[in-house]
């Protein structure tokens, strides 16, 4: 999935905002059954953007028998990638920078394991130190080193963060960067309670890890509760308890998540409201929460970022 901010700028600039960095695996750490942390290293990471938060990157993954086709290391990479023959066009997938250490020329990415069904999850299961790939990400010296960041709370004093395991790296990075007087809450749905991590959230922001396996035990259902149901219940309960809105729910256009990307992010950085909400995860779950927050509760859409990070049953489209 390429959004408008990832697409190369039409005017050639001296230095691109968002560009390929060739890297190799420096270390692999199994954080839990769900999360694998891969540390990448590369000479050029010295110039990688450090804004953090929900910093999105594109991974250009090797093809069996081909490796990684050569691409220009500037903003023309995407056009060149599109021109490649099918047999040599590497898969591209979207991930979050969990942390970046330019002085050490290192980046960490936390991968969710979901079997061998996609090129990224397949790659991480077999990755070993020294494996190479390409990360397309922000250049600290480019005109917009914040390319690929959607977290824009403006002057809101309270935050709601909600997401599944694929959004956990972004939520953790955002929580650690919040001003120490921030307040609000974060709900992170994960497969198992052992997936919970330290977040470094400010004292006023309550972090709740919702383990699907545990929820299933409580409901005496199968081994896992349906994806998103714990998150939906938690967001509904918190919103009903904590949010009062002056206006009635707004009509919103339906998003066809089978064919389109659910990506609704407010542009404005100042909207004068108290609450800023950021939701990301499986598109069907985020679509349900969008309807609840905007149509049922009446929260202004300019206060909420809704992002479908993946769609159940569908590979990421490039």
Ligand X SMILES: Cc1cc2nc3c(=O)[nH]c(=O)nc-3n(C[C@H](O)[C@H](O)[C@H](O)COP(=O)(O)OP(=O)(O)OC[C@H]3O[C@@H](n4cnc5c(N)ncnc54)[C@H](O)[C@@H]3O)c2cc1C
Angle between helices 283-290 and 229-242 (to 10 degrees): 20
Applying CB under 6 A, among 41, 76, 121, 288 the residue interacting with ligand X is 121
Q: Which range binds ligand X by CB under 6 A, 8-16, 196-204, 213-221, 305-313? A: 305-313
The two three-digit tokens of residue 34, written as one number: 């769900």
CA distance 318 to 310: 12
Considering the complex, state which of residue 56 and residue 212 has its C-beta at the smaller distance from ligand X. 56
CA distance 118 to 116: 6
Question: Which stretch, 79-87, 110-118, 218-226, 246-254, contacts ligand X (CB under 6 A)?
Answer: 110-118
Exposed e or buried b for every residue in 99-133, given b needs 16+ CB within 10 A? bbeeeebbbbbbbbbbeeebbbbbbbeeeeeebeb
Residue 236: strand, helix, or coil: helix
Whether 52 contacts 151, CB under 8 Å: no
CB of 110 to ligand X, least distance (A): 6
Q: Where are the alpha helices (DSSP H) in the chain?
A: 77-83, 119-126, 168-177, 212-218, 229-242, 283-290
The residue within the footprint of ligand X, chosen from 19, 37, 56, 105 (CB under 6 A), is 56
SS3 string, 119-185, reads HHHHHHHHCCCCCEEEEEEEECCCCCCCCCCCCCCCCCCEEEEEECHHHHHHHHHHHHHCCCCCEEE
Residue 318 lies near ligand X (rule: CB under 6 A): no
- Cα–Cα nearest to 205, from 306, 280, 275: 275
Ranges within 143-172 binding ligand X (CB under 6 A): 166, 169
In the bound complex, what is the minimum distance in angstroms from residue 225's beta carbon to ligand X? Answer: 14
Q: Does residue number 315 form part of the binding site for ligand X (CB under 6 A)?
A: yes
Q: Whole-number minimum distance, CB 226 to ligand X, in Å?
A: 13
**CB of residue 30 vs ligand X: minimum separation in angstroms?**
14
Q: What residue has token string 């545990």?
A: 214
Residues of this chain, 12-51, that bind ligand X according to CB under 6 A:
none
Q: How far is the CB of 89 from ligand X (least distance, A)?
A: 14
Within a 13 Å sphere around the CA of 265, how many CA atoms are in the beta-carbon half?
A: 20
Taking CB under 6 A as the binding criterion, the range among 88-96, 131-139, 151-159, 251-259 that sits at the site for ligand X is 88-96
Q: For residue 109, what are its two tokens?
A: 């990415």
Interaction mask 169-198, ligand X, x per CB under 6 A: x-----------------------------
CB closer to ligand X, 86 vs 220: 86
Among positions 95, 151, 276, 306, the unique one binding ligand X when judged by CB under 6 A: 95
Q: Residue number with the shortest CB distance to ligand X?
A: 118
Query: In the complex with ligand X, which residue's Cβ is closer, 239 or 279?
Result: 279
Complex with ligand X: residue 113 or 140, whichever CB lies closer: 113
Q: Return residues touching ligand X (CB under 6 A).
A: 1, 56, 93-96, 110-112, 114, 117-121, 166, 169, 309-316
């Amino acid at each position: 999935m390429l959004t408008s901010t990832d697409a190369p700028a039409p005017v050639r600039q001296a230095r691109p905002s968002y560009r390929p960095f060739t890297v190799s695996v420096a270390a692999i750490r199994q954080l839990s059954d769900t999360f694998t942390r891969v540390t990448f290293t590369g000479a050029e990471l010295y110039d990688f953007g450090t804004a953090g938060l929900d910093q999105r990157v594109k991974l250009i993954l090797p093809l069996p028998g081909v490796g990684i086709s050569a691409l220009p290391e500037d903003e023309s990479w995407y056009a060149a990638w599109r021109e490649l023959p099918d047999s040599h066009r590497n898969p591209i997938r979207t991930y979050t920078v969990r942390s970046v250490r330019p002085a050490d020329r290192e980046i960490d990415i936390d991968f969710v394991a979901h079997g061998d069904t996609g090129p990224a999850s397949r790659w991480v299961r077999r990755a070993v130190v020294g494996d190479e790939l390409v990360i397309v990400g922000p250049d600290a010296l480019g005109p917009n080193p914040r390319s690929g960041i959607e977290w824009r709370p403006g002057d809101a004093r309270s935050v709601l963060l909600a997401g599944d395991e694929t959004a956990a790296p972004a939520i953790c990075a955002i929580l650690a960067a919040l001003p120490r007087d921030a307040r609000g809450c974060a709900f992170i749905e994960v497969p198992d309670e052992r997936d919970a991590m330290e977040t470094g959230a400010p004292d006023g922001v309550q972090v709740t890890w919702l383990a699907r396996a545990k929820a299933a035990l409580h409901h005496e259902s199968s081994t896992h509760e349906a994806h998103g149901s714990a998150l939906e219940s938690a967001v509904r309960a918190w919103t009903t308890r904590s949010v009062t809105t002056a206006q009635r729910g707004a009509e919103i256009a339906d998003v066809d998540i089978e064919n389109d990307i659910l990506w609704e992010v407010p542009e404005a950085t100042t909207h004068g409201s108290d609450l800023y909400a950021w939701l990301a995860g499986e598109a069907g779950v985020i679509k349900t929460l969008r309807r609840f927050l905007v149509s049922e509760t009446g929260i202004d859409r300019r206060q909420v970022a809704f992002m479908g990070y993946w769609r159940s049953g569908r590979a990421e489209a490039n």
